[in-house]
A and B are shown apart, each in its own frame.
Chain A
């Protein structure tokens, strides 16, 4: 009826109605249209930007072309290189610390109700205080170096990862726990082969959110302390009234975040979730 060949290669099969399509498989047309939609949305965004630039003038809102030119200029001047490395390093260290600590403490708290209640006030304090307030204190304690951004990132992203690890712990399948007891698995085996893979489904979405948050908080901390990095570069473009430079830096920041998520997190996630 539809006139398609029904090849059974598994990936590109045409279905005759949506009811027939098993979950997880998308047909060729949907994939193609998704890509078109993505590109179209991006083009619309750039069009709206140009429109705004035409109305408001080049000082308040530079055109996309001016911004791209400024970005190329900043890269070729090597202004960005060191700053990018500083910011990325700080965001990553803070994020990694939060990930390890949050997961570890979440697992530990998962075993005991008493520990869970012990951690609760700590988590509430970390969640309730906005990162910018932590920065003020961190500046006093750690000064101008890496310490301030790393500490602030850690404090503000740790609760998210802890809470998600805890949620993962409390949803473990009781039958698998019983099976582990029957098989007399060692604690280490239980942890590596049962608990952590199960937690991965909870931790990875949280990790993606935490990474984005870590990146934003790092830039904010650098903006307020004179410690280099992209935040400092933002201060420089602000002082010299370089709006195109500010937008160019924002573009660079977005690109870095996307790179971090898709070059680091995605491959790790794919590997860990292979067991599914």
Chain B
């Protein structure tokens, strides 16, 4: 055929094909270029947002009683010399915490210890500074005087969070005490603490495992409403003492982002010094501490105040109690190593 003039279908196809090929080549080249520069790009992005916020420090904490000393830390003048302003902010759950830590690089936060270990093992630039509590999880039962693990034989226990932290801790201690988890004690799961309390009130379970302040809250509600009374029983710490001889469970603590240690080490030091003072003040003035913290929690201040003495608050430096921390993380690791990121973190984790 002689060459036809004008835009035939063939011509369109050829042009589009050529354009597509050029476009693909360009994209591939661009991708290769970015790949080689990606390290630089990442660092630039991090540098851009970093460290300006350390002079307007925000301390982050979760909806649990170890946050109360952090509220005090933010509101007292302990860090006033090194910062222009300090404030406390509450995160409501696991997802918000991750988003803030990974996305926004939160400098100082109260986190569950196993989560901090997991993040460190996954390569996040975080370090663990101090333990904030030696245990705040209790068994709440329909009868009083549950004082030993053996009393749990043939009973029904409900807890929230299948395959999560409390599940593995409990199963580990049951096994050590000789209780077979699903045969001697029936363990049931719900999605949230609220449902777990509903189950025990409805009579579907004999015991429920709750952390503070939900524990104190449920006991108070049981008193106020007409229904079965609930009693505080064994704590996880008591169970651990029965089985391992040591009743300390370092559930949560303060975690610092590495950029605080790199760019403002004096600020990190000041936080380390001021933390025990904040905890001591909280323990001596539970009402005032609860009042200051209650605007962040969604529970009344009397309940927070009542929960403080049961929360075993402390401010122990991580390097001073490293063995206890390692034991605790190993205990979790026996249940599910993925919860701590595969292994107990190395020395660089503990400040």
Using a CB–CB distance below 8 Å, which chain A residues touch chain B? 1-3, 17-18, 40, 44, 47, 50-51, 54-60, 139, 144, 224-226, 232, 236, 238-242
From the candidates A18, A139, A240, name the one contacting B336 in the complex (CB within 8 A).
Answer: A240
Q: Find residues 149-195 in chain B having any chain A CB closer than 8 Å to their own CB.
A: 160-164, 189-191, 195
Q: Does more than half of chain B's interface fall in helix, strand or loop, or is it mixed?
A: helix
Complex Cα distance A61/B350, Å?
27
Query: Is B14 located at the chain interface by the 8 A CB criterion?
Result: no
Using a CB–CB distance below 8 Å, which chain B residues touch chain A? 1, 9, 24, 27-28, 31, 34-35, 38, 41-42, 45, 94-95, 98, 102-103, 115, 118-119, 122-124, 160-164, 189-191, 195, 336, 338-339, 341
- A241 contacts B341, CB within 8 Å? yes
- B124 contacts A59, CB within 8 Å? yes
- A239 contacts B34, CB within 8 Å? no
- A239 contacts B102, CB within 8 Å? no
Within 8 Å CB of B164, what residues of A? 239
Within 8 Å CB of A55, what residues of B? 34, 38, 41-42, 45
- Given A1-B1, A55-B34, A55-B38, A241 and B98 contact (CB-CB distance below 8 Å): yes
Complex Cα distance A167/B300, Å?
54
Within 8 Å CB of B189, what residues of A? 144, 226
- B191 contacts A225, CB within 8 Å? yes
- Given A224-B191, A226-B191, A239 and B94 contact (CB-CB distance below 8 Å): yes
Complex Cα distance A44/B42, Å?
22
- A241 contacts B122, CB within 8 Å? yes
- A59 contacts B123, CB within 8 Å? yes
Closest 3 A-B residue pairs measured CB to CB? A54-B38, A240-B338, A226-B189
- A242 contacts B41, CB within 8 Å? no
Chain B nearest CB, measured from A244 CB (Å): 10
Smallest CB-CB separation from B342: which chain A residue? A240
Chain B nearest CB, measured from A43 CB (Å): 9
Within 8 Å CB of A54, what residues of B? 34-35, 38
Within 8 Å CB of B28, what residues of A? 47
Complex Cα distance A241/B115, Å?
8
Complex Cα distance A144/B163, Å?
16
Smallest CB-CB separation from B189: which chain A residue? A226
Smallest CB-CB separation from B123: which chain A residue? A59
- Given A54-B38, A224-B191, A240-B338, A59 and B95 contact (CB-CB distance below 8 Å): no
Interface centre among A18, A59, A239 (most CB of B within 10 A): A239
